[in-house]
Amino acid sequence: MVNAIIFGAPGSGKGTYASRLQSKLGVDVIATGDVFREIIKEDTPLGRKVKGYVEEGLLVPDEVVIEVLQERMAKIPSGKGFILDGYPRTIEQAKALEKITKIDVIIQLIVPDWIIIERLSARRICRKCGEVYNLRYLKPRVDMVCDKCGGELYQRSDDTPEVIKRRIKVYEQQTKPILKYYREKKVPFVEFKTESLEMPPEVAVEEIIKGLQKLKLV
């Protein structure tokens, strides 16, 4: 059982690796962005409250995020580990997490900007199940159709080069203090560096698992 947080810029492969680690390690993956998109679909008072923030790409206020996370974490079966994706994004959120559970490891994905831009411009996502594809490197079997569920694939409106550059900057500014926070707390890190565009997800995932094994976490 491992409790991990995965950090990586948009386009670092974070979502792809997390979903593979989920089945390989038998952990739950909690991606706060996905959780919010689900909540918005439900059209409840909470959904209406977070909608504006998510659509503008702004951080949802800490007290809301923390409550939503707490609820979601309570659903993890006991004895099962988890990987958090998209949380914490502020020190306040990191502190709140500490009160809920212990974090064993930080998985940090390091990817140069040019690779991120290449990848994200070709990214397509399933409307139905959220599976992620890439028109160049991770193609669906049938054009614009999800291999897993047959859903329609779409391109996120923020997956364009100009917006991507801005998102990388924002990511770095937001994440720096949080990584520093965990380093100071002496939480171990598993770093994975991507140096080529052709890095197959299986290799990345194997390397990450090796890192976790070295730390005797899996």
Q: Kindly list the residues in this chain that would bind ligand ADP in the complex (CB under 6 A).
A: 10, 32-33, 36, 53-54, 57-60, 65, 86-89, 93
CA gap 208, 218 in Å, rounded: 11
Is 156 noted as a catalytic residue in this protein? Answer: yes
Cβ proximity of 84 and 30 under 8 Å: yes
- Closer to ligand ADP by CB, 26 or 161: give it: 161
**Number of residue whose CB is nearest ligand ADP:** 33
- Residue 94 is encoded by which pair of tokens? 């990191």
Of 20, 119, 123, 124, which residue is the catalytic one? 123
Cβ proximity of 16 and 199 under 8 Å: no
Is 89 noted as a catalytic residue in this protein? Answer: yes
- Closer to ligand ADP by CB, 166 or 183: give it: 166
**Cβ 77 to ligand ADP shortest distance, Å:** 23
- Closer to ligand ADP by CB, 91 or 215: give it: 91
Of 41, 156, 165, 166, which residue is the catalytic one? 156
**Cβ 96 to ligand ADP shortest distance, Å:** 10
CA gap 89, 169 in Å, rounded: 14
Is 99 noted as a catalytic residue in this protein? Answer: no
**Cβ 170 to ligand ADP shortest distance, Å:** 8
Q: Which residues have a Cβ under 8 Å from the Cβ of 136 and sit 6 or more positions away?
A: 118, 122
Q: Which residues have a Cβ under 8 Å from the Cβ of 205 and sit 6 or more positions away?
A: 17, 20, 21, 24
CA gap 185, 174 in Å, rounded: 18
Read off the DSSP letter of residue 36: H
**Cβ 85 to ligand ADP shortest distance, Å:** 7
Is 193 noted as a catalytic residue in this protein? Answer: no
Residue type, 44: T
Q: With b meaning 16 or more CB within 10 Å and e meaning fewer, what string describes 91-105?
A: eebbebbeeeeebbb
- Closer to ligand ADP by CB, 53 or 181: give it: 53
Of 24, 49, 72, 89, which residue is the catalytic one? 89
Cβ proximity of 104 and 25 under 8 Å: no
Is 141 noted as a catalytic residue in this protein? Answer: no
- Closer to ligand ADP by CB, 163 or 209: give it: 163
Catalytic amino acids? Answer: 14, 89, 123, 156, 167
